[in-house]
């Protein structure tokens, strides 16, 4: 539907320090992109800037979603438009179940009158049906929906909640920022299965990770490497294999030796 994401020469400053120094990247529907790079290179800064976190100030460049700039949009407007950002550090909400949370998330962006009784939001039967469908698709146990969100969740369960949220919101573009610590194999597999299941012709995915090994499970169409706030290398899946073999040092060396 042309709801692609286009990042154009994006410069982002955090606390008066320029972190992103001109990032350009296009994610079309149906494509899986992996953004990799060493710690501190600016990957999470890009994710936060894309969602409109107030601390991340865009000083130059633009972000177009479906052809329109999102820079003046609030984070919730971006979400309603079809951009999804999985939180790198999801919070626990005591007393709120996974299902409740998902219903709030859907209601927050459903058009008024959706449930037919003048109230805003999705009706309970509609919601239950959708939840059941999505949980079956992701092969999740139905008891998971009744758990309190993130309370005592393992790393894998947090990821499950995140992926389920993505499935329910059906975004046109999903950005998944994977932490550089605490992602065990179980969690990696859940994220990868989720992305592989939910990716499709109408969805573009940007997976951000420090870990080459995530790409043993997700097969991206494009791989990009970020270094010091810039994308310094882009390629196909073979670039990920190369990184797995050689790490990031060869990219650093290439940069220092006047490449680019
Ligand atoms: P990555 O995700 O690639 O590890 P980050 O985007 O988290 O990199 O960080 C890039 C740089 O920006 C780092 O030097 C980091 O200290 C800085 N930075 C990112 N977010 C903040 C913040 N909220 N406050 C201060 N500095 C930040
Ligand atoms: Mg990060």
Q: Residues near 234 by Cβ (< 8 Å), separated by ≥ 6? A: 222, 223, 224, 225
Domain shared by 87 and 175, yes or no: yes
* CA dist., res. 251 & res. 242, Å (int): 10
Specify the pairing of strand 32-36 against strand 222-227.
parallel
Q: Is residue 163 part of a domain?
A: no
- Pocket of ligand 1 contains residue 42 by CB under 6 Å: yes
pLDDT at 126 over 90: yes
Above pLDDT 90, what percent of the chain?
48
Query: Ligand 1: which atom is nearest the Cα of residue 46?
Result: 6
Out of 10, 13, 19, mutate this one to test ligand 1's pocket (max ligand atoms within 8 Å of CB): namely 19
Cβ of 229 less than 6 Å from ligand 1: no
The CATH number of the domain holding residue 221 is 3.40.50.300
Looking at residue 92, the DSSP 8-state letter turns out to be: P
pTM higher than the cut 0.85: yes
- The pLDDT tens digits of the residues spanning 26-78 come to 999 999 999 999 889 999 999 999 989 999 999 999 999 999 999 999 888 88
Report whether 186 contacts 156 (CB < 8 A): yes
How far from 99 is each of 16, 88, 124, 196, CA to CA, in Å?
A: 40, 20, 11, 23
Nearest-angstrom CA–CA distance, 225 and 210: 10
Residue 8 alpha carbon to ligand 1 centre in Å: 20
Residue where a domain stops, chosen among 114, 149, 184: 149
In a domain, 165, yes or no: no
Strand order in the sheet with 56-65: 17-27, 5-14, 56-65, 68-69
CB 10, CB 71: distance < 8 Å: no
Is 14 a pocket residue for ligand 1 (Cβ < 6 Å)? yes
**Residue 67, pLDDT score:** 92
The secondary structure of residue 107, as a DSSP letter, is H
Task: Identify whether residues 175 and 247 lie together within a single domain.
Answer: yes
Residue 87 has what pLDDT?
62
Cα(71) to centroid(ligand 1), Å: 20
209 and 191 Cβ atoms separated by less than 8 Å: no
Domain span at 139:
93-149
pLDDT digits (tens, 9 = 90+) for 171-219: 999 999 876 556 678 888 888 889 999 988 889 999 998 877 788 888 8
Would 154 be classed as within a structural domain?
Answer: no
Whether residue 79 is contained in a domain is answered as yes
3-state secondary structure of 26: strand
> Is any ligand 1 atom within 6 A of the Cβ of residue 82?
no
Please count the structural domains in the chain: 2
225, pLDDT greater than 60? yes
Q: Same domain, yes or no, for 87 and 181?
A: yes
- Yes or no: say if 122 and 115 are a contact pair by the CB < 8 Å rule: yes
Cα gap 11→17, rounded to integer Å: 11
Whether residue 181 is contained in a domain is answered as yes
Residue 166 lies in a domain: no
Burial (CB count within 10 angstroms: exposed 0-12, middle 13-18, buried 19+), residue 22 = middle
| Mean predicted lDDT score pLDDT of the chain | 87
Q: Are residues 74 and 175 in the same domain?
A: yes
Tell me, using a 6 A CB cutoff, whether residue 45 lines ligand 1: yes
| From 15, 17, 36, 45, mutation site for ligand 1 pocket: most ligand atoms within 8 A of C-beta | 45
Pairwise CA distance, residues 188 & 168, whole Å: 20
Residue 158 belongs to a domain? no
pLDDT at 243: 84
**From the CB of 55, is ligand 1 less than 6 Å away?**
yes
> Cα 173 to the chain's mean position, in Å?
8
> Is position 11 within any domain?
yes
Average pLDDT score over residue span 113-142:
82
Q: Clarify whether residues 181 and 56 are in a common domain.
A: yes
> Are residues 186 and 248 located together in one domain of the fold?
yes
- Tell me which ligand sits closest to the C-alpha of residue 56: 1
């Amino acid at each position: 539907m042309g709801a692609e994401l286009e990042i154009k020469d994006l410069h982002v400053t955090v606390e008066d320090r320029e972190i992103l120094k001109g990032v350009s990247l296009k994610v079309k529907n149906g494509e899986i992109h992996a953004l990799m790079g060493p710690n501190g290179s600016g990957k999470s800064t890009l994710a936060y800037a894309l969602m409109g976190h107030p601390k991340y100030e865009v000083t130059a460049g633009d972000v177009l979603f479906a052809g329109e700039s999102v820079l003046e949009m609030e984070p919730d407007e971006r979400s309603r438009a079809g951009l999804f950002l999985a939180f790198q550090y999801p919070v626990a909400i005591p007393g709120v179940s996974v299902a409740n949370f998902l219903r709030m998330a859907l209601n927050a962006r459903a058009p008024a009158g959706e449930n037919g009784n003048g109230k805003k939001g999705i009706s309970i039967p509609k919601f239950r049906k959708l939840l059941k469908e999505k949980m079956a698709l992701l092969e999740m146990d139905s008891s998971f929906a009744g758990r309190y969100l993130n309370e005592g969740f393992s790393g894998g369960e947090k990821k499950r909640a995140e992926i389920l949220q993505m499935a329910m919101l059906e975004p046109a573009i999903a950005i998944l920022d994977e932490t550089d610590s605490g992602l065990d194999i179980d969690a990696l597999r859940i994220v990868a299965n989720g992305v592989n299941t939910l990716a499709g012709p109408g969805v573009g995915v940007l997976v951000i990770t420090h870990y080459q090994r995530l790409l043993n499970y997700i097969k991206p169409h494009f791989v990009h490497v970020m270094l010091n706030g810039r994308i310094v290398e882009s390629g196909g899946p073979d670039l990920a294999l190369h990184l797995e073999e050689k790490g990031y040092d060869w990219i650093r060396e290439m940069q220092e030796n006047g490449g680019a």
